Amino acid sequence: MPETVVDDLTPSPSRPQPSRRRALPTLVTLLVAAAIVGVLVKTLGDATLVFHEVDAAVELRSELGDGRFRVVGTPLPGLVETMVDGESAVVFTLCSSGTFADVVHVGDPAELLQPGVPVVLQGAWTVGSVPGIAGLVAPADDGWHLRTDHMVVKHDNDYRVEEGRQADIESCSATG
């Protein structure tokens, strides 16, 4: 039997073992790092994710061209349900800071699409008036409209509950 050294019998700290047991957490760590990078790239790299106010979208109309962008504004009373190119659509007027834009939203609108509650729409400027314009209370009717297909609602931070309380709504006009 070979001579054995027994001077230090204290168990040494465990050494990292290249085992499968440690491979999984390492893999998870790498996947998480990749996911973080992916999220950042997706978030920061997409210019369409900025919301333009209606007045800015109107001002930038020639610059935006037929490119897709997001616009935020408050729908005025008077939502007209109609059909456009064989698809269900809702037509309304969007406003912010006293500027109006007519909208044709193709597809299902948001469940809580309500006059006075701001929405964020994604779509592009299109030449021409909107169908069913006679049903709108205060249409922009400027020869352009927003053709959109993605709608989300941007609710406010007001949680005061009171029987019969009127909502605080940005006033775009007497109809607003």
Partner 1 sequence: MTETMATNGTTTGSRGSRVLGAATLLGLATLLLFAFGLTEADIRLHPTTGEEIGQFDAVRLLYLHVPLAVFTYVAFVLCAFASAGYLIRRTPWFDTMAHAAAEVGTVFCGLVLVTGSIWGRPVWNTWWEWGDVRLMTTLVLFLMFTGYLALRRATVDPRAAARRGAVVALVAVLDLPLVNRSVEWWENRTLHQKSTLGELKIQDLTLFTLMLGFLVFGLVLAWLLLHRFRVGWLEREDAEHGIAADIAERRAAIDEGDVDAAVGEGT
Q: Which residues bind partner 1 (CB under 8 A)?
A: 4, 6, 9-11, 13-17, 22, 25-26, 28-29, 32-33, 35-36, 39-40, 42-43, 46, 49-53, 72, 77, 110-117, 120, 151-161, 164-167, 169, 175-176
Cβ atoms of 101 and 58 closer than 8 Å: yes
Give me 91's structure tokens. 């037509």
Q: How many residues does the chain have?
A: 176
Q: How far is the CB of 145 from partner 1 (least distance, A)?
A: 21
- Closer Cβ to partner 1, 77 or 129, answer by number: 77
Q: How far is the CB of 155 from partner 1 (least distance, A)?
A: 6
Instruction: Give burial (CB, 10 Å; 0-12/13-18/19+) of 43.
Output: exposed
Instruction: Give burial (CB, 10 Å; 0-12/13-18/19+) of 138.
Output: middle
Q: How far is the CB of 89 from partner 1 (least distance, A)?
A: 16
- Closer Cβ to partner 1, 82 or 175, answer by number: 175
- Closer Cβ to partner 1, 78 or 131, answer by number: 78
In this structure, the number of other CB atoms found within 10 A of the CB of residue 169 comes to 14
